[in-house]
Amino acid sequence: MKNLKFQSLIYGMLLLFIGAPCMAQTTDKPRVFVLTDIENEPDDAQSLVRFLLYSNQFDVEGLIATTSTHLRDKTAAWRIKEIVNAYGKVRNNLLQHEKGFPTEEHLLSTIKSGLPKYGMNAVGAGNDSEGSESLINVVDKEDDRPVWVTVWGGANVLAQALWKIRHTRTLGELNKFVAKLRVYTISDQDDSGVWMRNEFPNLFYIVSPGEDYIHSTWNGIGGESFRKYASGADASLAENPWLRKNIMQNHGPLGAQYPEVEYIMEGDTPSFLGLVDNGLNVPDRPDFGGWGGRYELYKPHFKPYRNFDHQAPEQRAIWTDASDEVMGIDGRIYINNQATIWRWREAFQNDFAARMDWCVKPYQEANHPPIVKVDKTTNITIRPGESIQFDASDSTDPDGDTLSYHWFNYKEAGTYWAFNWYKPLTILNGNSAKATLEIGERIELSKAQTTHLILAVTDSGSPALTRYQRIIINILPKNK
């Protein structure tokens, strides 16, 4: 197996240098396979409630109960079934608001379990489970779309699937299998994560590695309630009073399945929040940023996780923590990785609340997101000294609500800002439907750069809902 591992390492390095095909944006529904240590604490059940409210935007292909460092010798598929049963009672109402919500029967058919073993003890000969076999079958389908494996607890079901494929198939078949996977794990909740990252170097993997939960990117979902970690977000939007009013109470049987926060609201939700079709998210480009956070591709420092037998330094680049510079509601500037999530909190919490309304209200009594339309969105180029106008006047709202507009430069998502420490871009009329982007005439560039212009359109409904348009602008040197 040493030669096979070496060949796989070379293949993975090539993908990192030449760029993987997975970087292309797609409008297809993401295929999603969830691994959850549900019943370890309340947040997995919370995340599953939200996940089901967006299930019409995904092809849900697996809901797998797993173990983790916090739930080592049992799984809880029964809890997944309880929540799916509650979803089944509100599905018809959800269909009044958007099409495509899967049937309760389909979702129930995807529920499986991993072995009730901890970490790498469930990886190797004799450790196949209905969960790992189901994942193999899903990836093997004649479907060119990647499979997003969102890992809310331990990752050993995925590790066992990869172990089996490596031991039963050719190198080419292994590489084909791995290339279809997109993994987003909520830190390392067993010892299989770093093993997979090192053993399968071409595996697309998003993670804040190790056990440092407090400083992990995903903690930006609502981490103020977890040891009162400071941020510039509105903490009240992630605490029990808001959740009782907008989610748990008077919102039907699915809302009633949402438990109160004990440590942190929905620590697992960032793993799928970036898959929501909102005009901002680009799932295969974690460095672009979105509701699920922003991550960059690099080799992180070694952070030993507990006393794992298989712990080892990261041997290659992975998608991991990146920082955004964001102004908080207190008027202070924050620069950290959690800001890449909490900067969107008002928008994604309002979106959650609106969808909970869909569970119990007819179409006419609920709010629905605006439809953003900009006159030019692709193949945009500009040179120093030039300006370009964008027009979003054709944006509409299905409920007839008034729309407000906010244009801004997402500097961390592009390359231009890193080379200019003064303000390189100016946006005129940034709070109107028509905005103008200007670039300074004296800017000197040795090569082309990119910048990301984001339009956020928010309606006047209750709760107010936001959708986006991301415009990637190529900035060329003056004489090229």
Q: Is 473 helix (H, G, I), strand (E, B) or coil?
A: strand
Report DSSP state, residue 58: S
Give the residue-averaged pLDDT of 303-314.
Answer: 61
- Measured distance CA(197)–CA(314) in Å, rounded: 7
Q: How far apart are CA 462 and CA 162, in angstroms?
A: 46
Residue 17 has pLDDT above 80, yes or no: no
Q: Is 200 helix (H, G, I), strand (E, B) or coil?
A: coil
The Cα–Cα gap between 89 and 91 comes to 6
Spatial separation of the C-alpha atoms in residues 68 and 222, rounded to whole Å: 21
The per-residue pLDDT for range 357-402, each reduced to its tens digit, is 999 999 999 999 999 999 999 999 999 889 999 999 999 999 999 9
At residue 16, the pLDDT reads 39
> What string of DSSP letters covers 123-169?
SSTT---HHHHHHHHHHHSS--S-EEEEESS--HHHHHHHHHHHHHS
- In this prediction, residue 441 carries a pLDDT of 82
> Which pLDDT tens digit goes with each residue over 179-208?
999 999 999 999 999 999 999 999 999 999
Where in the chain are the domains?
Answer: 2-348, 368-475
Residue whose C-alpha is closest to residue 49's, from 62, 59, 38? 38
Q: What is the model's pLDDT at position 310?
A: 53
The percentage of residues in the chain with a pLDDT greater than 90, rounded to a whole number, is 82
Task: Please answer whether residues 152 and 49 qualify as being in contact, where contact means their C-beta atoms are separated by less than 8 angstroms.
Answer: no
* Non-local CB neighbours of 116 within 8 Å, separated by 6+ positions: 67, 73, 74, 75
- Check residue 9 and give its pLDDT: 43
The model carries a pTM of 0.92
Mean of the pLDDT values across residues 151-163?
98
With 50 as the cut, is the pLDDT of residue 3 above it?
no
Sheet holding 111-113, edge to edge: 111-113, 59-65, 31-36, 147-151, 181-185, 204-206, 318-321, 295-298
Class of domain 2-348: alpha beta
SS percent in the chain: helix, strand, coil, step 5: 35, 20, 45
CATH, domain range 368-475: 2.60.40.10
Of 55, 38, 224, 63, nearest in space to 135 by CA? 63
pLDDT digits (tens, 9 = 90+) for 434-467: 999 998 887 778 889 999 999 999 999 999 999 9
Q: Do domains 2-348 and 368-475 have the same CATH topology?
A: no
- pLDDT at residue 5 is higher than 80: no
Q: Is the pLDDT of residue 18 over 50?
A: no
Q: Which residues contact 341 (CB under 8 A, 6 or more apart)?
A: 217, 218, 220, 221, 270, 273, 291, 292, 293
Supply the mean pLDDT for the chain.
91
pLDDT of 339 > 70? The answer is: yes
Instruction: State the pLDDT confidence band at 214, using cuts at 50, 70 and 90.
Output: confident
Please give the sequence-ordered ranges of beta strands (E in DSSP) within 288-441, or none if there are none. 295-298, 318-321, 324-327, 333-336, 380-382, 387-391, 403-409, 425-428, 434-439
Of the candidates 323, 62, 114, the residue with the CA atom closest to the CA atom of residue 216:
323
CA–CA dist 264, 42 (Å, integer): 9
| 8 pLDDT tier (thresholds 50, 70, 90) | very low
